[in-house]
Amino acid sequence: MAHPLSDPAQELYDLIITARRAEAVDVLLATAGRTGFKNMVSGLLEPVLTRIGENWMAERISLAQGYVAGKVAEDVLMTAARSGEQWSGERKGPAVLCCIEDDFHALGRKLVGVFLRSAGWDVIDMGDDVCAADLVDRAVSAGARVVGASAMMLSTAMNIRSVREELARRGLEGRIQLAVGGAIFRLRPELVQEVGGDGTAESALQAPALFDSLLARSLALAPEVAP
Amino acid sequence: MNSTQRVFAAVTGEPADRRAFTLTLSLYGAALTGCPLDLYHSVPERYLEGQRAVLDSIGPDILFSPFVLPLEGRAFGCELAPQKNGPPNVKKPAIRDDAGLRALKAVDVESDPGLAYLVESVRLMSREFGPGVPLAGILTAPTDLAAMILGIERWLEILLFEPEAARDVLHVAVSHFHAMGSALLAAGATCIVTPVMFCNPQIMNPELAGTTVMPVLREAFGNAPGPVIFHHGGIPLSRHLDLFKDVPNLLGFVLDERDSFAQARQSLGPDPVLLGGLSGPHMPGRTPEAIRRRVLDVLQDRQDDPRFILATTSADVPMGTPLENILAVRNAVFSDGSPS
């Protein structure tokens, strides 16, 4: 059973779940004004996002509610950027995201980007319909150790195989880890292996934990600094 | 019994010579006839050839209209992207700014080439296959059409934060549902099958579903000029059926493979038809023997449920599915000894 949230965290959770986005952002910014952004993130926002992620994964809350959580995080993130605040205590490095070739379902990818940024990743979002070579090129040029490819349907998910092939062709397996996601991977979890993914997440809110684990695996397998 | 008699026996709960079954083989007709998808999804005669091959090779008890929902989006201005192995995707939504939102209006079914193709395909099938084969007309739910023409993110924004705009969009979507549903039924469709995602509690907050979305579905389905089958849209549905059981004019529900038929019956009572049992997108990755066992297990589970039709769930059966996998379904149904 999950630990109870603190009173302020429960208040924030309730605001997000009932789609009171502006009020939720106000609460977070007011807290940041008192304690600083970093403490607000670790003490208030992160526990609430963790709880929302748990409930989303357990199908106790809806995509729309997860979406509101993403928008609240994004609103606060943008405010932090404008004010020059340090968002997170730990920078994780670059992560490159895209919807794979022929896929145009952007929402899940965008939410993943929001939650990765809030966890300290420098997200490079390449958008929809990205071919494997372009994705790998961008990852190499940015020095990214984790890339994320999203697909909603079976037919487009199969295009992710070409990312695995491209990584192998360039000798980057292990060093660049491939996260895969999208609705079809929830329906057919075995597809993660079929398309050559190194891992997937149940929801956008679980993406930071996945990317953290893939980064750790990359560093273990290829500790050298890229040329 | 012919297929229509068998399917209607399932609707009325009467005995039949065997269990009615169907697979969503809209796309598979192109595989059987070797038809390029751009032609298959634009020329009604080519679609008819494909469905003729489906009927001859497999013989499901229900055939489907073209499963190309993005054609409805294109009628409103969505830009589509062709796919190598499936129907086109929506590349860009129709409405990209507030001006587009304000200008949104219903489209004419007859003058739009994509909508006319959908209707004409049903008309040709009805003419060729006659009254002995039920035809399911696939149609986007109004709630989901809104997501298609606005994009999922913008639609969520509007639903969550702009209720008046949401009502305006849904009004147009309901008009389209009625016009297109009427056209499909007039062309010979036996019923409308409509995948519904955007009021499932996994997608939409239950409160929002209750206040904004469900009234629209009640209006759209209640005023449809023929029976409507509620399709799970790729999301498990059985534990949410209490929300939908009183929606008027619903003949039945297609459930996800992960759903529990027993739970569905508990929510719905004995009358609505339940369809499902076998995931369409999983068909290529399973062996014929695994498919046979799955079908027999489902039929065993439903042996005392006369209002059940074995069907594939989720999306269309992929084109690359070996024919022997599909025939395994038919053969299992034919060999099943349980009462139907």
Q: Is the pLDDT of residue B118 over 70?
A: yes
Tell me which residues of chain A have a C-beta less than 8 Å from any C-beta of chain B.
17-19, 21, 59, 61-65, 67-68, 102-107, 110, 128-129, 153-156, 158, 183-184, 187-188, 190, 194
CA–CA distance from B288 to each of B17, B293, B309, B321 (Å)?
Answer: 24, 9, 20, 11
Strand partners, A178: A147
What average pLDDT does the segment B312-330 reach?
Answer: 97
Q: Is the pLDDT of residue A81 over 80?
A: no
In the prediction, which pLDDT does A82 show? 78
Find the closest chain B residue to A19 by CA distance.
Answer: B160
Q: Is the pLDDT of residue B146 over 90?
A: yes
> How many C-beta neighbours within 10 Å does residue B84 have?
12
Find the closest chain B residue to A194 by CA distance.
Answer: B285
Q: Which two tokens stand for residue A21?
A: 């986005």
Interface of B with A in 16-75 (CB under 8 A): none
In one letter, which amino acid is A165? E
Sheet order of strands, B135-138 included: B21-22, B308-313, B273-279, B250-254, B228-231, B191-195, B135-138, B63-64
CB of B33 within 8 A of CB of B46? yes
Question: Lowest-confidence range among A137-146, B73-82, B206-215?
Answer: B206-215
* Exposed / middle / buried, residue B262 (Cβ in 10 Å: 0-12, 13-18, 19+): exposed
Residues of A in contact with B312 (CB under 8 A): none
Among candidate residues B70, B115, B76, the one with its CA nearest the CA of residue B88: B70
**Residue whose token pair is 């201005």:** B77
- Contact (CB<8Å) A67/B160: yes
* Residue A29 confidence class, pLDDT cut points 50, 70, 90: very high
**Residue among B92, B202, B281 minimizing CB distance to A63:** B202
Among candidate residues B297, B294, B272, B275, the one with its CA nearest the CA of residue B283: B294
What average pLDDT does the segment A180-208 reach?
Answer: 90
* Residue B340 confidence class, pLDDT cut points 50, 70, 90: low
In the prediction, which pLDDT does A205 show? 86
| Residue B288 CB partners (closer than 8 Å, separation 6+) | B322, B324, B325, B327, B328
Q: Is the pLDDT of residue B83 over 80?
A: yes
- Contact (CB<8Å) B201/A18: no
Distance of CA B223 to the CA centre of its chain: 18
**Residue among A65, A103, A183 minimizing CB distance to B205:** A65
Q: Is the pLDDT of residue A162 over 90?
A: yes
In the prediction, which pLDDT does B227 show? 97
d(CA A164, CA A151): 15
- Contact (CB<8Å) A19/B161: yes
- Contact (CB<8Å) B161/A128: no
Beta strands in chain A, from DSSP E residues, in sequence order: 93-99, 121-125, 146-150, 177-181
Strand partners, B278: B312
Please indicate if any CB of chain A lies within 8 Å of the CB of B338: no
Find the closest chain B residue to A159 by CA distance.
Answer: B84
The more confidently predicted of residues B200 and B190 is: B190
What average pLDDT does the segment B310-322 reach?
Answer: 96
In the prediction, which pLDDT does A150 show? 95
- Contact (CB<8Å) B204/A103: no
* pTM for the whole structure: 0.88
> How many C-beta neighbours within 10 Å does residue A226 have?
11
In the prediction, which pLDDT does A106 show? 87
Query: Which residue in A13, A56, A102 has the most chain B C-beta atoms within 10 A of its own C-beta, making it the best mutation to test that interface?
Result: A102
Among candidate residues A191, A44, A83, A19, the one with its CA nearest the CA of residue B281: A191
**Residue among B89, B161, B204 minimizing CB distance to A102:** B89
> How many C-beta neighbours within 10 Å does residue B248 have?
12
Please give the mean pLDDT across all residues of chain B. Answer: 95
What average pLDDT does the segment B176-197 reach?
Answer: 97
What average pLDDT does the segment B218-246 reach?
Answer: 93
B217-242 CB burial, b ≥16 within 10 A, e <16 = bebbbeebebbbbbbbbbbbbbebbe
In the prediction, which pLDDT does A187 show? 77
Q: Is the pLDDT of residue A105 over 60?
A: yes
What average pLDDT does the segment B294-308 reach?
Answer: 97
Q: Is the pLDDT of residue B96 over 90?
A: no
In the prediction, which pLDDT does B154 show? 92
Q: Identify the DSSP state of B322.
A: -
Query: Which residue in B37, B149, B156 has the most chain A C-beta atoms within 10 A of its own C-beta, making it the best mutation to test that interface?
Result: B156
Locate all alpha helices (DSSP H) within B13-151, ordered by sequence.
Answer: 28-33, 37-40, 44-57, 70-76, 98-103, 113-129, 142-150
* Residue B327 confidence class, pLDDT cut points 50, 70, 90: very high
In the prediction, which pLDDT does B339 show? 55
In one letter, which amino acid is A21? R
- Contact (CB<8Å) A188/B285: yes
- Contact (CB<8Å) A19/B89: no
Residues of B in contact with A153 (CB under 8 A): 86, 89, 315
* Residue A88 confidence class, pLDDT cut points 50, 70, 90: low
| Gap from B204 CA to chain A (nearest CA, Å) | 5
* Residue B188 confidence class, pLDDT cut points 50, 70, 90: very high
Query: What pLDDT digit, counting tens, does each position of A37-77 carry?
Result: 888 988 999 899 989 988 988 888 999 999 999 999 989 98
* Residue B20 confidence class, pLDDT cut points 50, 70, 90: very high
d(CA A201, CA B203): 17
With pLDDT > 90 as the criterion, what percentage of chain B qualifies? 88
A12-32 CB burial, b ≥16 within 10 A, e <16 = bbebbbebebebbbebbbebb
- Contact (CB<8Å) A67/B156: yes
What average pLDDT does the segment A124-151 reach?
Answer: 96
What average pLDDT does the segment A185-207 reach?
Answer: 90
* Residue B174 confidence class, pLDDT cut points 50, 70, 90: very high
d(CA B309, CA B288): 20
| Gap from B314 CA to chain A (nearest CA, Å) | 9
**Residue among A62, A103, A128 minimizing CB distance to B203:** A62
With pLDDT > 90 as the criterion, what percentage of chain A qualifies? 64
* Exposed / middle / buried, residue B5 (Cβ in 10 Å: 0-12, 13-18, 19+): middle
The more confidently predicted of residues A154 and A34 is: A34
Question: Lowest-confidence range among A2-6, A16-20, A129-133, B169-173?
Answer: A2-6
Interface of B with A in 210-239 (CB under 8 A): 234
- Contact (CB<8Å) A188/B281: yes
| Gap from A113 CA to chain B (nearest CA, Å) | 14
- Cβ-Cβ pairs closer than 8 A, A with B, add up to 80
A106-109: long-range contacts, CB 8 A cutoff, minimum separation 24: A106/B151, A106/B152, A106/B153, A107/A67, A107/B151, A107/B152, A107/B153, A107/B156, A108/A150, A108/A152, A108/A181, A108/A182, A108/A183, A108/A204, A109/A148, A109/A150, A109/A181
A88-103 CB burial, b ≥16 within 10 A, e <16 = beeebebbbbbbbbbb
* Exposed / middle / buried, residue A84 (Cβ in 10 Å: 0-12, 13-18, 19+): exposed
Among candidate residues A217, A144, A218, A206, the one with its CA nearest the CA of residue A181: A206
Q: Is the pLDDT of residue A224 over 90?
A: no
CA–CA distance from B289 to each of A144, B23, B257, B285 (Å)?
Answer: 44, 17, 18, 12
* Residue B10 confidence class, pLDDT cut points 50, 70, 90: very high
- Contact (CB<8Å) A63/B285: no
Find the closest chain B residue to A66 by CA distance.
Answer: B203
**Residue among A63, A156, A188 minimizing CB distance to B203:** A63
**Residue among A59, A107, A155 minimizing CB distance to B86:** A155
In the prediction, which pLDDT does B113 show? 98
What average pLDDT does the segment A177-200 reach?
Answer: 91
**Residue whose token pair is 């190309």:** B68
Please indicate if any CB of chain A lies within 8 Å of the CB of B290: no
Beta strands in chain B, from DSSP E residues, in sequence order: 21-22, 63-64, 79-81, 89-92, 135-138, 191-195, 228-231, 250-254, 273-279, 308-313
In the prediction, which pLDDT does A227 show? 43
Among candidate residues A167, A120, A76, A182, the one with its CA nearest the CA of residue B281: A182
Q: How many residues does chain A have?
A: 227
In the prediction, which pLDDT does A2 show? 72
- Contact (CB<8Å) B201/A62: yes
Query: What pLDDT digit, counting tens, does each position of B263-280 carry?
Result: 999 999 999 999 999 999
